[in-house]
A and B are shown apart, each in its own frame.
Chain A
Amino acid sequence: MNENPFAVFTPEGLDAQKVISIFSTEMPGLGNIEQPGHAFVVGTRGSGKSILFRYLEPDCQQIVTKKTIRELPYLALYVSFRETQAQISELARFEDRHGEVFFNEHLLVLAIGARIMLRLLKNNQIEACAISQDAHDQYRELNQMLGGDTMREPADVGDALRTTATLLQASYRRAIQYVKQHAFKTDALEYKGDLFGFDDLLLPLIDFIRAALVIPDATPMLLLLDDADSLTETQTKIVNSWVARRLSSRCSLKIAAQVTAYKTTVTVYNSRIEAPHDYQEIDLSDLTTRASEKAYRSRIAGIIQRRLQTVGITRAADKYFPEDHKQKLGIEREERRLVATWEAGGGRGHRPRDDAYRYARPNYIADLGGDRKSRSKYSYSGFDQLVHISSGVTRFFLEAAADMYSQAYANAARGNKIVEIIQPSIQNEVVRDHANRQMIVDLKDLARDVEQLKGNPQQAVQLSNLIKGLGSLFEVALGDRSASERKFFSFALSEEPTNEIEEVLRLGVRYGYLFQGIIGRKEGAGRAPLFVLSRRLAPLFNLDPIGFSAYKFMTNERISFLMNDPEGARLALRRGKGRRNENQISIDFSEGESNA
């Protein structure tokens, strides 16, 4: 097959030209992150953290700005904690022991130092530059500290960087050999090797890079630490301790992590780092406002068009992913009817377009039929639907688009292997398939009752029950023409969750079924966690993925009911269908009792 324009590659491995061709400069926080000062870039997996960091690297920036490396407004040095190896299990032997922090910091600074140097060499043409006296002096000091051959003169900057990286790698391997000896030992062996830290190794390394590349003193040095949620808790505390320091003149830390997976905000001194005092926070997957939704749509459209251009297709994103024509006409017809009804005095919203926006699509879905099977004729096609289904995560859109492209390519007539458009039928099929694949477990796979399971399987079943219960609730609400609010995708907790519920919700967020936000409590006191169902799951329940949705407060009792008694919840839902209560989702949790 010709190159799939939507293929999702790991950004670290892409060359600079490729990155520039696909990167969206509308990425939130792009201007801010380039400034001195520490920052956390948070977002779900696939929201664009890594490609943002990749774009900041000097090889990309030289192309973007048409400047040389020493003329750049900042120099970004990139490290991913995901790359290379898995977490070393023997390190757990040092937990809560004397020296634990020092040793972990030693490993961290060695690994970071080696990686940034080798990456600079790999991606930039700096090999043959002559080394200045200042850089030479710093090189000798580092060389001596790392046990290198102090008599050997570096040939040039590239040689100096490479030699230093080699020494860092050797020191790292020696440290790992010490760790390895603890596989079958409970007592810590005496350590006689080096112990380096941020101050005595990493900062001098960054200073050395500045001198070697002749970067002006006023140019900020940005240390980009990607996938920081891969760090252990101790390692995370160490990095937090670096953040807590005022270092911007020498080095600004930009740390990317999945917000729910970053282990802690505590430092090794047991203090806590906080925004904005210690760092700026940039959230790439914030879709809680209409403005951010619009910005996301615009960004995706730009990414799609840019990617299509790489294969010679010049078509706007919404034309490349058209909605099912019959469905589109049907929805437009319903919109006109709603507008006419409003104008005749029978509307609900402030303006006729409000009713059209809120009810046309839900009415269309409801009119397809009374049961789920009939409503499965609804087509999840069209750029707008696909944008909403991707739930604010760029990767979700691209992964689906890549599958659609592959299918369209396979279906294309022989001899004509250019995919000029993705047919609505293919879009719908792929979106529904992705929704089905997202569920970790189908209830029938686990042939035991929830009560007999423990731990993760129990939580997975509870999560599955909860998602299906919520989906069914929202499906019924969508079809209730008597309700003014029919589009639900979220619920908020009206009280502190129980441990059981918290574990299940955490699993849901971790696996992308739920997104977590914060809203103000109805009573005005404090804030409550908001959980938004992933719109990728919309096809499972024939929900309308488009537009800002309502939410409902739920108590622990209600959530527990959905989690642990799916059959009871299903019956309660049936009983509640007939109820007409404008302020509630219609579900009768128990006879005579009002809803959450």
Chain B
Amino acid sequence: MRDLSASELREILGDGPLALVSCLSFEDRSLTVAAEVASLNLIRWFCIENEDIETDITEMRQRAMCIAEQAGIEIEFLNASKRNPLILADAMMAVADGIKGEDGVRWVADITTMTHEMVLVTVAAAVELIPAWSDLTFAYNVADQYSGNDEVAHKWISRGIHEVRSVIGYPGAGSPGEPTVLVALPGFDMERIARIVEEIEPECLLVGIAKPSKDKHEWSDERNRQIAKDLLGTRNGAVFDYPALDPFAAVQAVVDATRDIDGNVLLAPLNSKISTVAVGVLAHLRPEWQVCYAPALIYNLSYATKSDCFLACTLGEMRRHVSASLGYVVGN
């Protein structure tokens, strides 16, 4: 998957009517794609907002409304909740009812600042609920830097977790009594994976380490390997690698790592949002696998800074690649 500039992103999205679904957060990046899309033929904008967000994002909301005003539309806010995952599912049902009969619109999901759970619910809604999203375009603004100017040893993304729960739409079909195989895909937030492992205590732990493409993110590779080593010191399992920001390679790596595994597979995708989309598609083709998520207790408000680099992929493309990884053909 190649990096796109802002102009290349706009070119891909084209001149036709566009509709956007995004998530408003404390990060500047939550408006980067919207700002690009607003200059095109944007006719509708659904914006997910966490009703229990723990910092003041009034200013970000106002900036979003200015962008919408420039595009000549009003934002339709969708509620979500860190504590109650059903709220976003209900919001998606309202979207499904609200966009019936709208043809010829290209739908874009800006997954940049969605939580991984939101990304997965969006994929589930696209696959199961909203026909207009059958070829949803996923757009992502790559981060320039994480955790501000903190020294490597002090970089942090989140601390603590509330609970570990399955993602709506991905309960799996596990057999009680069979061993649990947790496939963890950490990103810059290895601590959350460690907490998930502590909660689940799987019989087997497979950790996928994303090799960063940029040197400045090498710190995450070293840290993740060390934490994986610590976790695997007292558990069965293994580490596998894949290139970061390459969702197709991520899925191939997961499929390869689980090929000969017996037991209940539990996926914990916390790497890039685009690879989480791929995992969501994979889990729909392997519905016996459960996908889980652990909302963080606290986020670092200096989470990430924006860049001029984007990634984009359609659901159809993703489905074709994931099916190929699994070794079978899926109709369009």
Contact = CB atoms under 8 A, between A and B. Distances in A.
B104 interface: no
Contacts of B163: 87
**A93, A180, A440, A460 interface centre (most CB from chain B within 10 Å):** A180
B50 to A, nearest CB: 10
**A12, A86, A173 interface centre (most CB from chain B within 10 Å):** A86
Interface residues of B, number: 53
A189 to B, nearest CB: 14
A441 B86 contact: no
Interface in A61-107: 80, 82-90, 92-93
Interface string B85-128: 11001101100100000000000000000000000000011001
Contacts of B52: 455
B56 A452 contact: yes
A301 B169 CA distance: 49
Interface string A200-244: 000000000000000000000000000000100000000000000
A89 B175 contact: no
A86 B54 contact: no
Interface stretch (A31-39, A109-117, A289-297, A474-482): A109-117
B129 A184 contact: yes
A82 B165 contact: no
A-B CB proximity, top 10 nearest: A118-B177, A455-B54, A111-B176, A169-B175, A86-B292, A114-B177, A114-B176, A115-B177, A183-B169, A86-B164
Q: Interface majority SS on B: helix, strand, loop or mixed?
A: loop
A440 B52 CA distance: 20
A555 interface: no
Interface stretch (A367-375, A443-451, A539-547): A443-451
B15 interface: no
Contacts of B238: none
Interface string B244-264: 000000000000000000001
Given A114-B177, A186-B90, A7 B166 contact: no
A83 B298 contact: no
A27 B269 CA distance: 39
B308 interface: no
A456 interface: yes
Interface stretch (B39-47, B198-206, B322-330): B198-206
B180 A84 contact: yes
A10 interface: yes
Contact of A85 (B56, B92, B290): B290
A440 B298 contact: yes
Contacts of A93: 86
Interface residues of A, number: 56
Given A85-B172, A89-B166, A176-B174, 18 more contacts: A7-B234, A9-B234, A86-B290, A118-B177, A119-B177, A169-B177, A172-B176, A176-B171, A183-B169, A184-B92, A184-B124, A185-B93, A230-B199, A452-B55, A453-B54, A457-B55, A460-B160, A460-B298
A456 B235 contact: no
A87 B177 contact: no
Contacts of A183: 89, 124, 128, 168-169
Interface string A1-29: 00010011110110000000000000000
A114 B156 contact: no
B167 A82 contact: no
A18 to B, nearest CB: 12
Nearest to B156: A445
B175 A186 contact: no
A456 B298 contact: yes
Contacts of B128: 183-184
B180 A83 contact: yes
Nearest to B203: A13
B200 A440 contact: no
Contacts of A445: 156, 300
A9 B233 CA distance: 9
B266 A86 contact: yes
Contact of A92 (B84, B93, B160, B178): B84
B5 to A, nearest CB: 32
B297 interface: yes
**A89, A93, A117, A511 interface centre (most CB from chain B within 10 Å):** A89
Given A84-B264, A183-B168, A447-B301, A440 B175 contact: no
Interface in B167-209: 167-169, 171-178, 180, 199-201, 203
Contacts of A457: 54-55, 298-299
Contact of B178 (A118, A176, A454, A511): A118
A453 B166 CA distance: 28
Nearest to A455: B54
Contact of A82 (B56, B125, B200, B264): B200
B314 interface: no
B61 interface: no
B223 interface: no
Given A118-B178, A169-B177, A10 B54 contact: no
Contacts of A86: 164-166, 199-200, 266, 290, 292
Nearest to B294: A86
Interface in A154-175: 165, 168-169, 172-173
B180 A453 contact: no
A416 interface: no
A93 B166 CA distance: 14
A427 to B, nearest CB: 20
Nearest to A179: B171
